Amino acid sequence: MADLLNLHLDDVVILDLSYSQITRDTYSWTEIMKSTRKLKVLDLKACVNLSGCLEFPAPMTLKVLTLEDCRRLRQIDQSIRYLKELESLNLKMCCEVAYLLSELSFMTCLKELLIDGTSVSKLHFPKGSMKQLETLSVHGCKQLGEITDSIGGLQSLLHLALDDAIIEKLPRSIGELAKLESLSLRNCQNLLELPDSVGGLDRYLI
């Protein structure tokens, strides 16, 4: 990863490091992030040696962050709050990730959150957070057993996928998602019933 320090990254907008052997070398990672202030898209898909907790040491204008299939990554650091312009966060198949940081509430521009195949067991969204979120995909999160009423605050949500979750019920507040167009509950074998509030949604697919 230190080799990247020899490159001129000041004007780079898209940095694709997918399927590479990069590691979370603290010094190198910090210097690279500081030198890519114009970066909009960072693709770290399937960087199998990327482990521990990923940090973002300085404010950035990043809009798309892909960490899909980084199976040794345990969490993103609280410094993710610096990514205030982030619109898409892809954590698919980051199977060591067990919870969502409260710092995500700072990400007011986030439109897409993909956490399929993670070990997240609970979905809770601080009041007033993620007002722009349109897509929440939690497909294949087989540890997911609780969704709090806070999900009703995601007023821009269009697509919600909860396939394979072990939830027994959905919160009544799900009926408050007035813009919801698709709701996927495939293979939720523990789900006993749907709340009456679901019937109040104008458009939904199950």
Contact status, residue 52 vs residue 73, Cβ threshold 8 Å: yes
Q: What is the pLDDT along the chain (206 residues), one digit of tens a residue?
A: 556 656 677 889 999 989 988 877 766 777 777 788 889 999 999 998 888 778 887 788 999 999 999 999 998 888 898 899 999 999 999 999 999 888 888 889 999 999 999 999 999 998 888 999 999 999 999 999 999 999 999 999 999 999 999 999 999 999 999 999 999 999 999 999 888 877 666 554 55
What's the CA gap between 90 and 101, in Å, rounded? Answer: 14
Cα distance between residue 102 and residue 99, in whole Å: 9
Q: Rounded to two decimals, what is the model's pTM?
A: 0.91
Domains of the chain: 1-97 (no CATH), 110-206 (3.80.10.10)
Query: Which residue carries 């709701």 as its tokens?
Result: 183
